[in-house]
Amino acid sequence: MRSEPTNLLYVPASLLATMPRAWGESEGLHNWTVEGEHGFNLPDRLVIWDETLRDGEQTPGVFYSTEEKVELAKLLDEIGCDILNCGIPAVSEGEQKSIKAIADEGLANASIMGAARTMSSDIDAVLKADCDECVPFIACSDVHLEYKLGKTRDECIEMATHAVEYAVDHGLKTTFVTEDTVRADPKFVARLYTAAIEAGATRVLFSDTVGVMTPPATRWFFEKMREEGVPEGPIGGRAGQPEWGFHNHNDFGLGTANALAAFEAGVPNLNTAVNGIGERAGNTAFEEVVMALENLYDVDTGIKTELLHELSQSVEEASGVPVDQMKPVVGSNAFTHESGIHTHGVLANTLTYEPMQPEEVGHKRRFVFGKHTGTAAVNDRLQRNGVEASQDELLEIAEQIKTRIEARGKEDARAFVKGFREKTTSFQGVSTQEFWDITKSVTGQDPTKTKAERSP
């Protein structure tokens, strides 16, 4: 059980029940995403393809046990995810067993997916893991084809179509995916995807693998694919008319914005990961996409949003990756207030400084008493605890709180930051010394002294 800090005031929902809970219930507030004329082509519904168990585990230093994968899969299923990409079964026997353990759970809602390179042996591993779906993937930008795969464009198409046909022939619902789609030649992308669709793919996924798109570019890209004649079908897809999806990363902090832009452009299937974990700067955050669609676009996502905070904490603990305090929706500061002006506003009406309610996501509202605390927060806390104070006394209490905070040194804060950085680095993989110890046990050799790396 997590202990709660003692310098915070938690405000139960029952004490704020009389306040407006949504924009539409408060006169004079506008939501121009809904009210404005934007020409959106919103899909009939959202399809969530969750990557927490696959791409999320590719976060440097992250690994899940089989038990953790199964428990997270059950939580993702309970909250309402449509598809769980559980990993690449061909990676190892242990990974295959973990994915099969998830499949054996017989989840109520989510389809179990296994990823595969465009190789028959990888697809065989997906079959052995008893997955419902297979997602063969291959890179398609020229830089990947030349420097990583050493393949021509025609060879790429041949590999893709063979893999899709093999998966389909073995009874797997098949999604075709490419890495680095958005940096490739659009005409080649269209030719490649059309060939994969003709081979039997009933869902296709376009990827912004290194997070270089912007919202306007994302919308343009999908219109370009339509102009180039890539077949498109309904949610669920069918032969010759696949469901479209989007996989994107957060390297420039645009992951959520670009995913929403894809949805605006009519793409129903969005790839996300809880807490935005993943390679480099991470994947698009599940909780951010869901709550943006629910609150800003007025879309019923079908997700049990009241479980978001609990799910976030479960992923945080299993992955070992701490959630940023300022993380939208699920961070510890997402509904925390210290400023006297803000606290006064929230106590009068939560809509003054909160765009959504913490109860919506299973979170808590908190007030911090520090340098910026005003008398409104002090008075509210005193009254809730049966203490009466005059205005002068309230001012004195607030002033003493500020004085105590300002008198504190920064040594503890600096030590915390330094320790956090060191712990984060040491947590990611084996240490330098461990690496060379392993190498020596296998090869019997030490690194050349003149070129030896220094142990951290």
Q: Are strands 365-368 and 8-11 parallel, antiparallel or unpaired?
A: antiparallel
pTM over 0.75: yes
- The sign one gets for the Cα dihedral 264, 268, 271, 274 is positive
Predicted confidence at residue 27, as pLDDT, reads 60
Question: Is residue 178 left, alpha or beta, with left meaning phi > 0 and alpha meaning psi from -120 to 50?
Answer: beta
CA 23 – CA 308 distance, rounded (Å): 21
Predicted confidence at residue 15, as pLDDT, reads 44
For residue 244, give the H/E element and its range.
strand 243-248
Predicted confidence at residue 348, as pLDDT, reads 86
List per-residue pLDDT tens for the chain, 456 residues long: 344 444 555 544 444 444 444 555 556 789 999 999 999 999 999 999 999 999 999 999 999 999 999 999 999 999 999 999 999 999 999 999 999 999 999 999 999 999 999 999 999 999 999 999 999 999 999 999 999 999 999 999 999 999 999 999 999 999 999 999 999 999 999 999 999 999 999 999 999 999 999 999 999 999 999 999 999 999 999 999 999 999 999 999 999 999 999 999 999 999 999 999 999 999 999 999 999 999 999 999 999 999 999 999 999 999 999 999 999 999 999 999 988 888 888 888 888 889 999 999 999 999 889 998 889 889 989 998 999 999 999 999 999 999 998 888 888 889 888 888 887 777 788 888 888 899 999 999 988 765 656 554
End-to-end CA distance of the chain, in Å?
A: 34
* Residue ranges matching CATH 3.20.20.70 in the chain: 41-319
Predicted confidence at residue 431, as pLDDT, reads 84
Predicted confidence at residue 270, as pLDDT, reads 98
- Retrieve residue 406's tokens: 């300002």
Of the candidates 304, 197, 302, 204, the one whose C-alpha atom is nearest the C-alpha of residue 262 is 204
CA 297 – CA 287 distance, rounded (Å): 15
Whose tokens are 């353990």? That residue is 101
CA 233 – CA 216 distance, rounded (Å): 23
What are the beta bridge partners of residue 179? 139
CA 330 – CA 319 distance, rounded (Å): 16
At a CB cut-off of 8 Å and minimum separation 6, what does 335 contact? 354, 358, 363, 364, 365, 366
41-319 topology per CATH: TIM Barrel (3.20.20)
